[in-house]
Amino acid sequence: MKSRFLSALLFMLLMVSCKQKTIDYLAESKTDKDARMEWWREARFGMFIHWGLYAVPAGEWKGQKNHAEWIRESAQIPLEEYSKFVGQFNPVKFNADDWVKLAKDAGMKYIVITSKHHDGFGMFNSKQTDFDIMSTPFKRDVMKELSKACEKQGMTFCFYHSIMDWHNDNYLPRRSWEKTRSTEGADFDKYRSYLKSQLKELLTHYGKIGVLWFDGEWENTWTSEYGKDLYNYVRNLQPGIIINNRVTVGRSGMAGMTGEGEFSGDFGTPEQEIPATGVPGADWESCMTMNDHWGYNKNDKNFKSSTEILRMLADIASKGGNYLLNIGPTADGVFPQESIDRLKEIGKWMKTNGEAIYSTHASPFKNLPWGRCTQKKMTGSTRLYLHVFDWPTNQKLLVPGLGNKVIRAYMLSDANQEEMPVSTESGGITIQVPAQAPDIINSIIVLDIEGDPAIYDAPEIKASAEIFLDQTEITIAKNETLSEIRYTLDGSMPSVTSAVYTTPVKVSATTTITAVCFKDGKIMSGNTTLTVSKVTPVPGRTLPQVKPGLVFKLYHGDWDKVPDYNGLTPNLSGIATDLSLANKAADEKFSIDYQGFINIPADGIYTLSLNSDDGSLLYLGEKLAIDNDGLHGPTTKSADLALGKGLHSIRISYFEKSGGNCLELKWKTGNGKSEPIPASALFYYR
């Protein structure tokens, strides 16, 4: 009787559990998100680890030595050949405690490791496939061992997991070179189910996971709706987990940030770069390799120096971001010695100066000539951490534009916190510093100030373009309301008697305008200078026999930049009415060259903008007007040109290696709206 009662009770509990409502975490409040993100925002520094079967060939295949984690794709290795690495992967030197200790001693707060990269090989014990680490001679779940080591040492454990999968038969598309691998019977919905099943394993068998770092979302089979669904699926398994923006589409190439207004996960992911001005109002993390590859490449000895890495860390923290620094372990299961050496040097600096990184906020300064700044809010005051890369030879460090009363200044490395003399100067405050820098990499000065930072930035001078034909209008702006702007039009430094800016300045000759912020007769900011030049437009031509469209030639090939077309035979040629062929010609590995004329309707200054993925070049006449070349995601570059009414010869060269296709040319005049150049403005001559 008792047994039947317990069985009935368990059944009822199971039914209640099954009917539990799935929570829509896309509607999460800002307060709840802030609480969830708190540890990550405080951490600032993490270790990325790319480790998998690709460590076996160590970057080398058939004489080519520049491969790494993409080797199956970059070397075009058939699936059956690549699978042979499973029997060769035996990392007998792997020790989870050693790895975690190296990260912890380097001052890192979390570890993100590849549970599965694009090759589809699982670095964990998966019941969904035999293509995992339990099928190797090693037969140990390294993810389980790392999870336990992180828990023991107080490190947050995180997973990288690829949405793309070159091994699973249901994943689409196939690689373009896999001519004999049929897609018959492939079902992407089944693949999505497989992906979720593996994620459920990772999120239910390895304890609390801090971050799920997705990648491989850029192929056209993955959609925004799939991304939202996967985000909610993961959050319902571990509600407190943090998920990057690569769970969905819309990322702007290596810049790593998702388009405005689109669902973007919890943080952006700039790759191999640091945003020039940070990303105000957004969470972001720059991921970078320690050398030139993510996975292990035995021939790659181009390691960043400890100085470069630590200054990158300071730069990223000063812009409000996190730094995820990558290691590529060997097939034996150890970090390269060069990585170990740098981790130890980084740890030495962090032990003394970590306070200036952890739990800090972005700098209140737009830029500092000698280094960077991070800050922390205190009770009634603010603590500024001045990261000094270039130590002043005159022992005077000027902190430009700072208008607050200073409480004290001292070296962070000084256990006695001996105060350094501070004086108020024109344009900021000056700190009297020792003759020698305490640390040649990055010396930290602590500067405590009353209240929130009051920064008098140098004024911002704007014109619609730096060239004009007859007359142009110049505007000047500042970031606060306490000062006044004074300016000159001859390039000289403004004084207390110079003109006060109140309305836009109109000029009709080449002019150099310089502006400074003043308060109570004293200079409070640095100066800004802009030269606008009066020019004559390049005259247009009249050609009576032109016809609508552009001549194009399309080439198939694998390039990393726009090729030299001399000696190449086009695979296709003809007349195009617009640039859309570049977006439709092929999925990848092609180049297209357009030539013809653009008809300029009236004399003026035209801003031409060239957007492409991958690289592109724009020539006006014989002159290279826009260089947007190289491997990258959707990227826009612009140029201001003085063009006369009539026809101007134009050439647009574009190549696509992999990923999405994108080529677009826009124009605008003055402060007008940038719009695609219409087909009616394009001509060719025969």
Q: Tens digit of pLDDT for each residue in 54-90?
A: 999 999 999 999 999 999 999 999 999 999 999 999 9
Q: Write down the pLDDT at residue 144.
A: 98
Count the alpha carbons within 13 Å of 211 in the hemisphere toward its beta carbon.
32
| In-domain check, residue 669 | yes
**In the numeric block, which tokens belong to residue 503?**
């309305």
Average pLDDT estimate for 174-184 = 94
Which secondary structure element, helix H or strand E, spans residue 102, and what is its range? helix 96-105
Average pLDDT estimate for 476-493 = 95
Cis status of the peptide bond prior to 24, with omega within 30 of 0: no
Query: Is the same domain home to 416 and 321?
Result: no
Q: Write down the pLDDT at residue 254.
A: 79
CATH number of the domain bearing residue 667: 2.60.120.1560
186, 166 contact by CB (below 8 A): no
Where does the pLDDT of residue 16 fall: very low under 50, low under 70, confident under 90, or very high at 90 and above?
A: very low
DSSP strand E in 79-205: where? 110-116, 156-162
| In-domain check, residue 18 | no
Q: Write down the pLDDT at residue 33.
A: 98
Phi, psi for residue 319 in degrees, rounded to 5? -105, 10
**Count of CB atoms situated within 10 Å of the CB of 50:** 22
Of 282, 310, 332, which one is at a domain's C-terminal end?
Answer: 332
Q: Of 129, 219, 220, give the one whose Cα is nearest residue 169.
A: 129
Query: Is the same domain home to 554 and 638?
Result: yes
350, 107 contact by CB (below 8 A): yes
Average pLDDT estimate for 333-342 = 98
| In-domain check, residue 13 | no
Q: What is the pLDDT of residues 244-259, one digit of tens each?
A: 999 999 887 778 998 8
Where does the pLDDT of residue 271 fall: very low under 50, low under 70, confident under 90, or very high at 90 and above?
A: very high
Query: Is the same domain home to 602 and 483?
Result: no
| In-domain check, residue 261 | yes
Which residue did the predictor score with more confidence, 262 or 235? Answer: 235
Q: Write down the pLDDT at residue 304.
A: 98
**pLDDT above 70 coverage of the chain, percent:** 97
Place of tokens 């309707």: 601
What is the C-alpha to C-alpha distance for residues 549 and 163, in angstroms, rounded to an integer?
A: 41
Q: Write down the pLDDT at residue 18.
A: 42
| In-domain check, residue 584 | yes
| In-domain check, residue 197 | no
Average pLDDT estimate for 326-337 = 98
Q: Of 578, 611, 683, 598, give the one whose Cα is nearest residue 646.
A: 598
Q: For the whole model, what pTM was predicted?
A: 0.85
What is the C-alpha to C-alpha distance for residues 310 and 131, in angstroms, rounded to an integer?
A: 38
Q: Write down the pLDDT at residue 259.
A: 83
CATH number of the domain bearing residue 400: 2.60.40.1180
Q: Write down the pLDDT at residue 586.
A: 55
CA–CA distance from 402 to each of 80, 83, 275, 406, 425 (Å)?
Answer: 64, 61, 24, 9, 10
Which secondary structure element, helix H or strand E, spans residue 386, and what is its range? strand 381-388
Query: Is the same domain home to 228 and 277?
Result: yes
Query: Is the same domain home to 522 and 466?
Result: yes
pLDDT reading at 5 higher than 50: no
What is the C-alpha to C-alpha distance for residues 110 and 436, in angstroms, rounded to an integer?
A: 34
94, 334 contact by CB (below 8 A): yes
| In-domain check, residue 326 | yes
Count: domains in the chain: 4
What is the C-alpha to C-alpha distance for residues 216 and 582, in angstroms, rounded to an integer?
A: 23
Average pLDDT of the chain, as a whole number = 94
Count the alpha carbons within 13 Å of 437 in the hemisphere toward its beta carbon.
16
CATH number of the domain bearing residue 277: 3.20.20.80
378, 448 contact by CB (below 8 A): yes
Tell the burial category of 17 from Cβ atoms under 10 Å away from its Cβ (0-12, 13-18, 19+). Answer: exposed
Q: What is the pLDDT of residues 372-401, one digit of tens each?
A: 999 999 999 999 999 999 999 999 999 999
Where does the pLDDT of residue 582 fall: very low under 50, low under 70, confident under 90, or very high at 90 and above?
A: confident
Interacting residues of 250 by C-beta distance below 8 A, sequence separation 6+? 224, 258, 259, 262, 263, 264
Q: What is the pLDDT of residues 584-595, one digit of tens each?
A: 755 678 999 999
The single-letter DSSP state of residue 493 is: P
pLDDT reading at 651 higher than 80: yes
Where does the pLDDT of residue 7 fall: very low under 50, low under 70, confident under 90, or very high at 90 and above?
A: very low
Q: Write down the pLDDT at residue 15.
A: 41
Query: Is the same domain home to 444 and 515?
Result: no
Which residue did the predictor score with more confidence, 526 or 105? Answer: 105
Of 476, 510, 534, which one is at a domain's C-terminal end?
Answer: 534
Q: Write down the pLDDT at residue 581.
A: 87
**Count of CB atoms situated within 10 Å of the CB of 49:** 21
Q: What is the pLDDT of residues 638-649, one digit of tens each?
A: 999 999 999 999
What is the C-alpha to C-alpha distance for residues 408 and 152, in angstroms, rounded to an integer?
A: 40
Query: Is the same domain home to 166 and 71?
Result: yes
Average pLDDT estimate for 165-182 = 95
Average pLDDT estimate for 459-473 = 95
Most distant CA atoms of the chain, gap in Å: 101
pLDDT reading at 606 higher than 90: yes
Which residue did the predictor score with more confidence, 101 or 18? Answer: 101
Query: Is the same domain home to 496 and 375?
Result: no
Where does the pLDDT of residue 1 fall: very low under 50, low under 70, confident under 90, or very high at 90 and above?
A: very low
What is the C-alpha to C-alpha distance for residues 68 and 52, in angstroms, rounded to an integer?
A: 10
Query: Is the same domain home to 666 and 620?
Result: yes
Q: Write down the pLDDT at residue 261.
A: 82
Average pLDDT estimate for 676-683 = 95
Q: What angle, 0 to 180 degrees and rounded to 10, lies between the N-to-C axes of helices 337-353 and 306-318?
A: 50
Q: Write down the pLDDT at residue 14.
A: 43
pLDDT reading at 499 higher than 80: yes
Where does the pLDDT of residue 426 fall: very low under 50, low under 70, confident under 90, or very high at 90 and above?
A: confident
What is the C-alpha to C-alpha distance for residues 520 and 525, in angstroms, rounded to an integer?
A: 13
**Count of CB atoms situated within 10 Å of the CB of 661:** 19
Q: Write down the pLDDT at residue 341.
A: 98
Q: Of 89, 77, 144, 158, give the one whose Cα is nearest residue 121.
A: 89
| In-domain check, residue 344 | no
Query: Is the same domain home to 434 and 570?
Result: no
pLDDT reading at 135 higher than 90: yes
CATH number of the domain bearing residue 500: 2.60.40
Query: Is the same domain home to 306 and 419?
Result: no
| Domain range enclosing 506 | 460-534
Query: Is the same domain home to 445 and 467?
Result: no
The single-letter DSSP state of residue 104 is: H
pLDDT reading at 4 higher than 50: no
Of 507, 534, 561, which one is at a domain's C-terminal end?
Answer: 534
What stretches of 241-329 show up as alpha helix (H) in DSSP? 306-318
